[in-house]
Amino acid sequence: MVEQITKGDWRRFVQEGVLDNSRINERIRASWNHCRRLGVDPYNGKGTQMLSYDALQKRRRENSWLIELAEPFIKKLATMYHDSNVILLLVDREGYVLRMAGEELVKATASQINFTEGVKWTEEQVGTNAIGTALAIGEPIAINGMEHFSVASQTWGCSAAPIKDENGDVIGALDISSPFIPDYYQHVLATVVAAAYAIESMWQHRMKEEELELINLGLKEERGSDRSFILYNRNHQLVYASSAITNIPAAISELPTNHNKSPVYGKDSSEIIGHQITLTNQKKSPAFQGWNSSFQFQGVAGKSSTFQKVLERAKKAAEKDVTIHITGDTGTGKEVMAKSLHVCSKPDRPFVAVNCGAIPENLLESELFGYTGGAFTGAQRNGYEGKIVQANGGTLFLDEIGDISVKTQVALLRTLQEKKVVPIGGKKPIPVSFRLITATNKSLGGLVKKGQFREDLYYRIYVYPLHMPPLKNRLSDIPELVDYYFQKRNWQFTWRIEAIRALQSYHWPGNIRELFNVLEGIYTEYGEQSPEPSDVEAYIRQITPHERDVSFSGDLSTREQMEKEYIEKALKQHGGKASAAARQLGIPRSTFYRKLKKYELG
């Protein structure tokens, strides 16, 4: 049990720095020590930092929302405490008194110590006090009489509770103060806490509503345009980035020198609910083509950082005309990537693709190297030039390269070394020059170890590996992929966002191919009607082989994934330094750490 602190205790502390710990609450002791270290004058404690009329009005405008939400509580409590010698105060996050209500006599007493609207009432300014300490520790607290660090407030009894936003950051505080210490002060504290909690809940509810409004606005504004813009909420947190922005962290890092900020008004047009920044130097992206500087991806590039990294590497490979080996699970778009690499380096030359796994072994060799007329029974009379010759001057894409026999491996190696092809049954070598791109969903290295793939050929083709990530690692790209498929099929309707979210909560072992198959199947079943999320899940379960796992994670929302990605990138840009990354993204540090924990990035 903490005993009441006396004038003698206080004097000993301010004069000698000695304090009997059992006599004072731990929080208050810490605050006293803090004030002493800061050199706050214990013999004064009147307010000194006062806003001018104009500055106070400006601050009120900046906190108009907080005032609006708190006002009904302040009014109600003022009525309840009528004749109880109290005043009610609302302060902003920096401790400036925005609003004071209550009896005129009490207000007059308060003004004697400059405790008025516009004053800054923090620990640093006036010493330990309920408002300042509640703001500093982020918790409700009552400070009575001698517990105040400076004499000016030592007859007062005050109870304050911080008000926090949806991220848990303090945005202000509510306080009830009296020039006499009320003996029911515990009840007063409970009342303040309850009111602050109600204000917080209303704030969070409105914040969510506004966020949705901003997202809808962004979607509307983006429709049919390829503008690059970002929408921030009133707390300066990013809530929307248009799809023309393929690299959100890079775009954000350009903001200080290159932005054009405009207010965004809410539904009733009277209030600014956020702001929009138009980025002027972003590359415009034609629909469904991922531009990455000079690299033009021939499918949906999406915004995910996972795929952006792939495009970065692909761009380098396209520039250098190097031999590329693409890895990745089935349906991840290895062939789409091979075509993109070709288009970016030799668009007017042939692109010849051979799926080595799909052609019977005895036919693959002739398919690749060609044959002369009458080379074998069943051969075409005039012979066949073969895919390698067809690819001359352009790109040869050998899919499922891991499936070719050792005999064909030898022949291919010779062609690559000598840059010549000898057709089956022929003698005359044909000179060829082509860019080789190979792909497999197997581990080529593993096949070499097992002796199923020649090591010398491995080194010839495994020059620049490019890995296509599985769709489960780029779930945030699903809305764009769906959009793409709808346009490709010329379907003139859309699905509800919940149905798209259901798609995003599945792990897609068959990747993009499986996604398109599911869209096609659901269309057959539901036509132009948007399915419910449960319909999507039921359909996927129905078409999936029994032994397969069909769990739906219900994981992160698209916005959360987007947020996770830009946090990840900012961290990377700053070598893992959380404070620098938080600064770049304009996220308060405490919020940033909470997000790191949430997304398991810590």
Give the count of beta carbons closer than 10 Å to the beta carbon of residue 410: 13
Instruction: Give the nearest distance from C-beta 438 to ligand ATP in angstroms.
Output: 12
**3-state percent breakdown (helix, strand, coil) of the chain, nearest 5:** 45, 15, 35
3-state secondary structure of 268: coil
What residues does 292 pair with on adjacent strands? Answer: 295
The residue among 217 and 401 lying less far from ligand ATP, judged by its C-beta, is 401
The residue among 441 and 544 lying less far from ligand ATP, judged by its C-beta, is 441
- Mention every residue, 6+ apart, whose C-beta is less than 8 A from residue 313: 466
* Residue pair 208/233 in contact by the 8 Å Cβ criterion: no
* Residue pair 391/350 in contact by the 8 Å Cβ criterion: yes
Instruction: Give the nearest distance from C-beta 392 to ligand ATP in angstroms.
Output: 23
Instruction: Give the nearest distance from C-beta 468 to ligand ATP in angstroms.
Output: 6
Instruction: Give the nearest distance from C-beta 439 to ligand ATP in angstroms.
Output: 6
Distance, in Å, from the CA atom of 524 to the CA atom of 457, rounded to the nearest integer, reads 46
Give CB contacts under 8 A, 24+ apart, made by 454-457: 454/406, 454/409, 454/410, 454/413, 456/413, 457/409, 457/412, 457/413, 457/416
Tokens of 494: 């859309």
The residue among 255 and 336 lying less far from ligand ATP, judged by its C-beta, is 336
The residue among 217 and 300 lying less far from ligand ATP, judged by its C-beta, is 300
The residue among 370 and 469 lying less far from ligand ATP, judged by its C-beta, is 469
| Location of structure tokens 């739906």 | 552
Distance, in Å, from the CA atom of 430 to the CA atom of 333, rounded to the nearest integer, reads 32
Q: Which of 218, 224, 256 is nearest to 238 (CA)?
A: 218
Instruction: Give the nearest distance from C-beta 519 to ligand ATP in angstroms.
Output: 11
> Taking the mean position of all CA atoms in its chain, how far away is CA 378?
60
3-state secondary structure of 178: strand
The residue among 330 and 590 lying less far from ligand ATP, judged by its C-beta, is 330
The residue among 252 and 391 lying less far from ligand ATP, judged by its C-beta, is 391
* Residue pair 493/455 in contact by the 8 Å Cβ criterion: no
Instruction: Give the nearest distance from C-beta 331 to ligand ATP in angstroms.
Output: 5
The residue among 273 and 401 lying less far from ligand ATP, judged by its C-beta, is 401
The residue among 508 and 566 lying less far from ligand ATP, judged by its C-beta, is 508
Residue numbers at the binding site for ligand ATP (CB under 6 A): 299-300, 328, 330-336, 399, 441, 484, 512-513, 516
Tokens of 194: 């309850």
The residue among 131 and 337 lying less far from ligand ATP, judged by its C-beta, is 337
Instruction: Give the nearest distance from C-beta 363 to ligand ATP in angstroms.
Output: 19
Residues 507-518, buried b or exposed e (16+ Cβ, 10 A)? bbbbbbebbbeb
Q: Which of 487, 482, 397, 379 is nearest to 436 (CA)?
A: 397
Instruction: Give the nearest distance from C-beta 597 to ligand ATP in angstroms.
Output: 32
Instruction: Give the nearest distance from C-beta 512 to ligand ATP in angstroms.
Output: 4
Instruction: Give the nearest distance from C-beta 488 to ligand ATP in angstroms.
Output: 8
Tokens of 66: 């907080």
> Taking the mean position of all CA atoms in its chain, how far away is CA 359?
44
Could you give the angle at which helices 185-222 and 64-80 cross, rounded to 10 degrees? Answer: 150
Kindly state the helix (H) or strand (E) to which residue 461 belongs, with its residue range: helix 455-461
The residue among 81 and 516 lying less far from ligand ATP, judged by its C-beta, is 516
Instruction: Give the nearest distance from C-beta 296 to ligand ATP in angstroms.
Output: 12
Distance, in Å, from the CA atom of 413 to the CA atom of 403, rounded to the nearest integer, reads 15
